[in-house]
Amino acid sequence: MHKRPHFINFVCMLTNNDNHKAATLYVSDLDGTLLNSDTRLSDTTVRLLNKAIAHGAMFTVATARTPATVTTLMRRVDVKLPMIVLAGAAMWHDSERAYSDVQTIDSATVNRLADVFERHGLHPLIYRRHGGMLHVRHCGQLSQQEQQFVAERTGLELKRFYLDDSERQYRDEADGEAVLLFSMQKLDRLAPVYDEIKDDPHCSVMFYPDIFDPTSGFIEIYRAGCTKAQAIGRLASRLGVERTVVFGDNGNDLAMMRAASHSVAVANAIPAVKEAASEITGTNNDDSVARWICADMGLDTD
């Protein structure tokens, strides 16, 4: 007999659950929101999330991270739903170790954007899906911030870096589907690139400061229309829920904060996120997301 995917079985279980709160999809950002300042989930957050899920909570995360780090960070939480990764450019089914809903960037757009970076003396990291893996290619010198970023992720199971590529290898679309162009630099180096590409109709561009170093920042470029909000909307539609509650802290959370039924900013969020939120809760160091979800479901938060 053909075994139904874990996600489909979970949806069927929820369809037959009369608990009102089971009609809510809870989605949290990771860094600065669900993760504490040590970039980890506290034991309390893990325990409370697992309690909520055991009582029927539909919970997942929406993050700019890739499965290579998300699976490690979330390994103690019994997440049954697909996790929204790459800022909405894909969903990751951890039980099946597979991607779905991959939003790809066409090769002409990739080449045009790479040309812009090069005019400003930079090369982005180009992420391409290769089956269940991500191949990340770079040409030229990494910034100090990118060197640290790569060092912390080298050797991970689901991601492979190819550095010091030739220009031909760097842009070779035969390596897989392009899903992200990424750069981490000092803000004054990234700002001119952003100014040139921000209105490109073929891509979605996010430019925001590093929460740990306000002099540095990130540019993330995805396919046009690709946001956490869009991915959450697709998932909510499949689950048949009308109420979505989201939690965030930074600029790439703004779209989902504005689109959700109810949005919660952590106290350490940037001002724009707090202004967009329905309410503000405690900080990411206070297990605030997990406590909020349990309270919303009428569960003990201790």
Beta-strand runs (E) in the chain: 24-28, 58-61, 83-85, 90-93, 98-100, 125-130, 133-137, 159-162, 177-186, 203-210, 213-223, 243-248, 262-265, 279-280
The pLDDT of residue 92 is 97
| Residuewise pLDDT in 10s, the chain (302 residues) | 334 444 544 454 444 444 444 599 999 999 999 999 999 999 999 999 999 999 999 999 999 999 999 999 999 999 999 999 999 999 999 999 999 999 999 999 999 999 999 999 999 999 999 999 999 999 999 999 999 999 989 998 899 999 987 877 788 777 789 999 999 999 999 999 999 999 999 999 989 888 788 899 999 999 999 999 999 999 999 999 989 999 999 888 999 999 999 999 999 999 999 999 999 999 999 999 999 999 999 999 98
Burial of residue 4, with CB atoms counted within 10 A of its CB: 0-12 exposed, 13-18 middle, 19 or more buried? exposed
Of 212, 219, 194, 284, the C-alpha closest to 248 is: 284
Secondary structure class of 65 (helix, strand, coil): coil
Give the count of beta carbons closer than 10 Å to the beta carbon of residue 252.
Answer: 23
Structure tokens at 70: 């998300």
Residue 194, H or E segment? helix 187-197
Pick from 135, 137, 131: nearest CA to 114: 137
pTM of the model: 0.86
Single out the residue of 174, 224, 199, 210 nearest to residue 116, CA to CA.
Answer: 199
Pair of tokens at residue 109: 């757009």
Burial of 140 (0-12, 13-18, 19+ CB in 10 A): middle
Computed from CA positions of residues 175, 193, 28, 13, in that sequence, does the dihedral angle turn out positive or negative? negative
Of the candidates 145, 146, 135, 142, the residue with the CA atom closest to the CA atom of residue 121:
142
Q: In the prediction, which pLDDT does 20 show?
A: 44
Q: What span, in angstroms and rounded, lies between the C-alpha atoms of 88 and 274?
A: 21
